[in-house]
Amino acid sequence: MTTYTRVERLLTVGPCIVGDEELLAELTPEHIQAALQHKRTRYGWALGEPLRGWARHEAMLPFVRLDTLVTMVVLGDPFTLSPANERTCGKEVQEIVDDAVATVTRVEELLRRGYPAQWATKMARSVAGIELPELVVSEMVRRVTPSTIGQNSWHATPSMREQSVWYAHRLEGDEYVGWTCGDCD
């Protein structure tokens, strides 16, 4: 008989017991990483399919943390550990989880500054290489409060010229995502 931790049971069976909403709300990328540590096969993770199902389950969106949701999406993606994917083939779970958390941070920061969601996700994808599904992006947009959108109104819809100036001034390897000092004119 196989014994599962509460996290493994939640990820494989789903929420069946009252109180799982609290567990889901407290679930972190580190919990998922620990659950997957011993569940890896030569074809990927044994929990890959359940993670994909959870990432598409709309009823859980209000409960789960965004970094956990993106981690579920990335680790549940069948292409993540595919030998054809040069970016992630040799990576360890920790590196993939770190990239997922960094992607959430970048997208949230850009959304709070008032950038359009499509632009924010493309920017994060170009830095970390993680593609976010529309369901996850729409949940991120929903969680950004309306009071923070357009706080700096000139950031709300950057023109192509402003974007090109920003890219021209961006330093390679710089973890800070934002506008550099300087004038467009």
**58-98 pLDDT per residue, tens:** 777 777 888 888 888 887 776 665 545 555 555 677 788 88
Angle subtended at Cα 106 by Cα 120 and Cα 126, rounded to the nearest 5 degrees: 60
For 127-161, write each residue's pLDDT tens digit: 888 888 888 888 888 887 565 444 443 334 444 44
Tell me the one-letter amino acid at 172: E
Confidence of residue 172 (pLDDT cuts 50, 70, 90): very low
Report helix, strand or coil for 7: helix
CA gap 114, 152 in Å, rounded: 7
DSSP state of 41: E
CA gap 6, 86 in Å, rounded: 34
Closest CA to 14 of 57, 71, 68: 57
pLDDT at site 17: 53
Q: Would you say residue 103 has pLDDT above 50?
A: yes
pLDDT at site 6: 66
Tell me the one-letter amino acid at 163: Q
The residue ranking higher by pLDDT, 32 or 100, is 100
Report helix, strand or coil for 73: helix
Q: Which residues contact 34 (CB under 8 A, 6 or more apart)?
A: 7
CA gap 56, 72 in Å, rounded: 10
Q: Which residue has the tokens 């360890």?
A: 92
